[in-house]
Amino acid sequence: MQRPRVLFADDHRLLVEACTKLLEAECDVVGSAADGRTLLLMARGLRPDVVVLDIGMPLLNGLDAGRQLKAMMPEIKLVFLTMNEDADLTAEAFRIGASGYLLKSSAASELSGAIRAAMEDKTYIGSRMTGKIVQAYIEPGRRSMPSRLTLRQREVLQLLAEGYSMKEAANILDVTPRTVAFHKYRIMEQFQVKNNAELYQFAVKQSLIPASPRRH
C-alpha cells in the first residue's frame, strides 16, 4: 500500500506534533490546519488521502467541515480524532461519510490502525467508543440528535456564539451583514431563542461549540 498523504485539522499544536511523529514511519503528513475553514482551503490545494480532524474546531466545526470536504472530494477519507464521547455525534460522523472515529486518549495505540483501515475502505471505531455506541442504541428514551439547521445557519450560529459580530461573521463567510442578520433572526424565530445568551446556549446544544468556547 502506498504511503497515505495525511492532513491534520486540530487547534492543539502539541497533539498534532505528537501524532505526526507517531505516523512518520508509514504516512506522509502534508500539513495541519487549526480551524475548519483553513482545513477546507488546505485540502483543496494539498489533495490528501486522509484528513484526521477534531469535532470541536474554531470558525467551522469538524462535522460541517467534513461534510463540505466529502462534497468537494468524495474520495477523501475522514478519521475523527476527538475528546467527544457522544455516541450521537459518532453516528453523525459516519452519516457524513467518516471512515473512522476514535478518542484522543487512544491515539497512540489506534491512530495508525484507523488510517490503514480507511485506506482499505474499511470502517474503524475506537475501542473505547464501541461500547458507548451500543449502549446508546439500547437505552430506552435516549436523546435524539440536535434540531436540524441548514449548513448556512450552522455556520452563522457557530461564528456568533464564538463571539464574532455580525459584520465579522459576514466577512468570514463572504456574505453581507444583512444575510447574517437574516439567518440569526430566522434561527431565533424558528427555535424560540429570545436573546444572545440563549443563542449561545443553543449553539452548545447543537454541539457547534464546547460549553466554554475559545474567544477570538
Whole-number average pLDDT of the chain: 90
Identify whether 143 is part of a domain. Answer: no
Pairing type for strands 50-53 and 5-9 reads parallel
Alpha-carbon Rg of the chain, whole angstroms? 18
Compute the distance between CA of residue 134 and CA of residue 172 in angstroms, rounded to an integer: 39
Kindly state whether residues 108 and 170 are assigned to the same domain.
no
CATH number of the structural domain spanning residue 80: 3.40.50.2300
Contacts of 104 (CB under 8 A, 6+ apart): 15, 81, 82, 83
Looking at residue 144, what is its pLDDT?
47
Which helix (H) or strand (E) covers residue 94, if one does?
helix 87-95
DSSP state of 149: -
Compute the distance between CA of residue 94 and CA of residue 61 in angstroms, rounded to an integer: 15
- Domain end among 81, 111, 138: 138
pTM of the model: 0.86
Looking at residue 91, what is its pLDDT?
87
Identify whether 95 is part of a domain. Answer: yes
Kindly state whether residues 123 and 170 are assigned to the same domain.
no
Instruction: Tell me how many domains the chain contains.
Output: 2
- Domain end among 81, 116, 138: 138
Compute the distance between CA of residue 31 and CA of residue 29 in angstroms, rounded to an integer: 6
Looking at residue 3, what is its pLDDT?
93
Q: Tens of pLDDT along 81-103? A: 999 888 888 888 999 999 999 99
Kindly state whether residues 23 and 97 are assigned to the same domain.
yes
Identify whether 170 is part of a domain. Answer: yes
Which pLDDT band, with edges at 50, 70 and 90, does 46 fall under?
very high
Helix (H, G, I), strand (E, B) or coil at 78: strand
The lowest-confidence range among 136-145, 151-160, 164-173 is 136-145
Instruction: Name residue 9's beta-bridge partners.
Output: 33, 53
Kindly state whether residues 156 and 80 are assigned to the same domain.
no
Sheet holding 28-33, edge to edge: 28-33, 5-9, 50-53, 77-82, 100-103, 124-125
Kindly state whether residues 60 and 160 are assigned to the same domain.
no
Looking at residue 88, what is its pLDDT?
83
Cβ atoms of 97 and 64 within 8 Å: the answer is no
Compute the distance between CA of residue 62 and CA of residue 7 in angstroms, rounded to an integer: 13
Angle at 62 between CA 58 and CA 67, to 5 degrees: 130
CATH number of the structural domain spanning residue 164: 1.10.10.10
Q: Which domain covers residue 180, as residue numbers?
A: 151-205
Kindly state whether residues 198 and 123 are assigned to the same domain.
no
